[in-house]
Amino acid sequence: MGKLDGKVALVTGSGRGIGRAIVEKFASEGARIVVNDLDADPAHETVEALKKMGVEAVACVGNVTAPDFAERFVGTALSAFKGIDIIVNNAGYTWDDVIQKMSDEQWYAIIDCHMTAPFRILRAAYPHMKALHAADKEAGREVYRKIVNISSVSALNGNAGQMNYSSAKAGVIGMTRALAREWGRFNVNVNCVAFGLIHTRMTSADAHAGATVSIDGRDIRVGLNPDMLKSHAQRNPLGRGGTPEEAAGGVYLFCSPESNYITGQTIAVAGNLQ
């Protein structure tokens, strides 16, 4: 038996990259998974991969910023698995520019994805978290549920050209601290992981030369300048960026039973990058 055996985990942005590594880690510990991705193909591909690992998994495809997404996401878990144990607000992207060139559209797109969407998901989960805790208490069970919000070292230190992203991710830390105080009475641990540079398709040097991803009909540039990646490695005490699996490990720490007396905290999974 794994440490998450039978738990129901909902992870946004889990069809690819860090999100996929998170659900694979959870699945290896026995969790049942609700996979989300903006696009259907990676979501369903991930579901099939999880099923081959011997776990139950379903997909909830769609943009986390859609007004109806939160209820649909939570509803998928309840319909498929009759419960919720873990929610990871992982979906995100960057749309960078210096402040004088940043449009209102850029600002609100990033705020909506990184702050409004998690807020709606957690609000939609509230009555179910309350009811599940009441049922546990009535049955004499002590069950801890887990919320992990994803932030960034850009929130902790700031980053030039990321006014929108740094602000949104700082807001996620505030959201985490507030909800930890609100939901502690339901035995819900609410914590935050702030990633440093993690090597994914969004940060790859190979993608730097004009590569884009389509989000909400917008073509958003992805990839980092190779010189920036080299500078990061030189400044990081570990001498490199992280892998999606290492990022997933940081999230898993807050979802394991060993974290039952930890709440309202933020840890940086960043190789001590300052």
Q: Specify whether the CB–CB gap between 65 and 118 falls below 8 A.
A: no
Selection from 79, 115, 95, 62 nearest residue 219 by Cα: 95
Amino acid identity, residue 127? P
- Pairing type for strands 188-195 and 145-152 reads parallel
Q: Which of 93, 126, 144, 165 is catalytic?
A: 165
Amino acid identity, residue 110? I
Which alpha helices (H) appear in the chain, and where do they start and end?
A: 17-28, 40-52, 69-81, 104-111, 117-138, 153-157, 163-183, 226-235, 244-253
Q: Report how far residue 53's alpha carbon sits from residue 7's, in angstroms, rounded to the nearest whole number.
A: 16
Q: Three-state DSSP class for 215?
A: strand
Q: Report how far residue 66's alpha carbon sits from residue 274's, in angstroms, rounded to the nearest whole number.
A: 35
Rounded to 10 degrees, the C-alpha dihedral 61/72/109/192 comes to: -90
Q: Is 165 a residue of the active site? A: yes
Residues taking part in catalysis: 165
